[in-house]
Chain A
């Protein structure tokens, strides 16, 4: 018995092993959204195939959806067409569809856990790289391409070689103002965006034990940003309490049976990892990115590193700073910003809105800042209202939009204009990610809130 958590879940899902080739892996849950699925459904049609297990498939609309006036017809004809295609494909194949206006609608990686579709020990895939989010529950969850979406629809299996394993252990205590997002941005800044490529990561240690399920989801969500296939955290009492009594989780005897299995889901003491990394949680500070990939992050009060001190090519690094219109050595604190985006599958959960509200309470939004606050789902939206956060936000000059992926990838109208700076709680600061020419500073909901109040990059610890 020297198996990792990843080994245990993976091995129990292997239908067939191909010598010198990939494993045929059985998939328990397939999440589908409107952008990466239409060509897969078209493939089924062309090959005259059906969806093998529609009951293991869940569809939701999120990438393209407007975050205002969702009750009205979608204006963009291309977006409307894609949404219609998902609705029709779902109906044709008997897949449950939580479309625009549905009470359970929201970002695929937010609603999956909310309704208990996400469970420990499951294999979960979706045509979206941030599927790694679901690893927070001790599931193997990863993003796939459209050819693979077609594969899973038609055969409920995927063909992939087993990844190598990496364990990242962080003990110690996080200091005040340091959130799960900072932990993730810290790790990525150490590993770079390719440091975990080829690996499946398990997060271990006190920092993750202490973290809420929402926080664990944020960390696992960002695993892909260091190149990892996915990330996971062993399920514990917190996990079980979170999923208990949700719509799709087992009930009664089935729950007891499931619990027996789930409690075996941890890495053995002598488990072998291909790579082990250890960091000190006490040393992590609030983080912010200054460049055009998520690895270009640093403690908020540091200066922008010199190109020569960084791994990788100087030319690429300087191109990135040029895009941001920043220079080596400059401080990020005090930099003027134009937009704030709170939301996405990374930080669009209730805990993120609580954190943001905690900072802005009793203050006013800076007049030079446009803020888009986008809940990850209707369930989150409802909680924001019920917990009284909305009133506080409105008093501080903010408004709440309707759920969706929104400005994270700017497929809808929520686009940051060219040249403008956005402090964003999402996951990618690539060139033009939030709209052509947009400039993104990735940060936690606390840093986003501090920027929204002051109009400049601000250490949130100065506002408590």
Chain B
């Protein structure tokens, strides 16, 4: 069992309407030196969040306590760049369980799914709608139902369906991971290995 089960998440959201949020912003490389998966949330968006003297930057959304919640809403092409899973760990450790965007970078999306963060890809129009609602009323609740694959803005009842492959969905609903799956087919892997030319 790898992580907490994910079924329905209802929460307020934190808006970050910037495109191409890259993994070096999510967690700068100098904070990748740990040998255990602890404390990464403290350095989430480190250089956007703190000035060089480690004072919180007032204009950054994580320092604006008007906004809070377990859902991070980002602009297009969220998570581009490095394969560092530390980026997903930092988001998780900070307390987010879901990232909403109109487009995700490949490896980042995979990393999220592998540690129990749900990446929800919505249309650019719906993303805009979420941003507008959250800015107008920071108490706006979003409801994400993984089983039904629906994301809804509670206030307006407006919703959209999202994609996730059946296998990964099953993993998240049940809280198990790929290693659990692969360990059960170890014999066929070993057989396969005998036939590989390399």
Interface residues in chain A, defined as those with a beta carbon under 8 Å from any beta carbon in chain B: 13, 15-16, 18-22, 24, 26, 28-29, 35-36, 38-39, 42-43, 47, 49, 52-53, 63-64, 76, 78-79, 81-82, 85, 119, 121-122, 127-129, 131, 143-148, 150-151, 154-161, 193-194, 197-198, 224, 227, 229, 257-258, 261, 293, 312-313, 315-316, 319, 409-411, 418, 428, 430-433, 436-437
Pick the 4 closest A-B CB pairs, nearest first. Answer: A21-B167, A145-B85, A143-B83, A78-B33
Is the CB–CB distance between A197 and B166 below 8 Å?
A: no
Is B9 located at the chain interface by the 8 A CB criterion? no
Q: Which of B66-125 touch A at CB < 8 Å?
A: 75-77, 80-86, 88, 103-107, 110-111, 114-115
Alpha-carbon separation in the docked complex, A227 to B104 (Å)? 10
Q: Name the one of B19, B34, B84, B182 contacting A24, with C-beta atoms under 8 angstroms.
A: B182
Task: Say whether B65 faces chain A, with CB atoms less than 8 Å apart.
Answer: no
B residues within 8 A CB of A159?
A: 167, 178, 181-182
Is B133 interfacial (CB 8 A cutoff)?
Answer: no
CB within 8 A of B35: which of A20, A85, A155?
A85
**Across the interface, which residues of A come within 8 angstroms of B35, CB to CB?**
38-39, 42, 81-82, 85
B111 touches A312 (CB 8 A): no
Told that A43-B179, A121-B198, A229-B107 touch, could you supply 19 new A-B pairs with CB distance under 8 A? A15-B185, A22-B165, A24-B189, A28-B198, A29-B198, A38-B35, A47-B179, A49-B183, A81-B33, A81-B35, A129-B83, A143-B82, A145-B114, A155-B182, A194-B103, A227-B77, A312-B20, A430-B24, A437-B52
Chain A residues, CB < 8 A from B198? 28-29, 119, 121-122
Which residues of B42-65 are within 8 A (CB) of A? 47, 52
User: In terms of DSSP, what is the predominant structure of the interface of chain A?
Assistant: loop
The one of A16, A122, A129, A158 that contacts B81, using a Cβ cutoff of 8 Å: A129
Contact at B81–A35, with CB atoms within 8 Å? no
Q: In the assembled complex, which residues on chain B have CB atoms less than 8 Å from the CB atom of A19?
A: 166
User: Which residues of chain B have C-beta atoms less than 8 A from A129's C-beta?
Assistant: 81-83, 107
10 cross-chain CB contacts under 8 A: A21-B167, A38-B35, A49-B179, A81-B35, A143-B107, A144-B83, A155-B183, A155-B186, A159-B182, A319-B18
User: B185's closest neighbor in chain A, by CB?
Assistant: A16
Q: Which residues of A contact B75 (CB under 8 A)?
A: 313, 316
A127 with B83: CB separation less than 8 A: yes
Q: How far is the CB of A412 from chain B (nearest CB, A)?
A: 9
Residue B145 CB within 8 A of the other chain: no
Nearest residue, chain A, Cβ from B88: A145
In the complex, are the beta carbons of A197 and B106 less than 8 A apart? yes
Whether A197 and B37, one on each chain, are in contact in the complex, defined by CB atoms closer than 8 angstroms, is no
Contact A145 B110 (CB under 8 A): yes
A127 to B47, CA, bound (A): 24
Check if B179 sits within 8 Å of A155, measured CB to CB.
yes
CB neighbours (8 Å) of B186 from chain A are: 52, 155
Distance between Cα atoms of A127 and B83 in the complex (Å): 7
Which of B34, B47, B103 is the one whose CB lies under 8 Å from A431? B47
A38 to chain B, nearest CB (A): 4
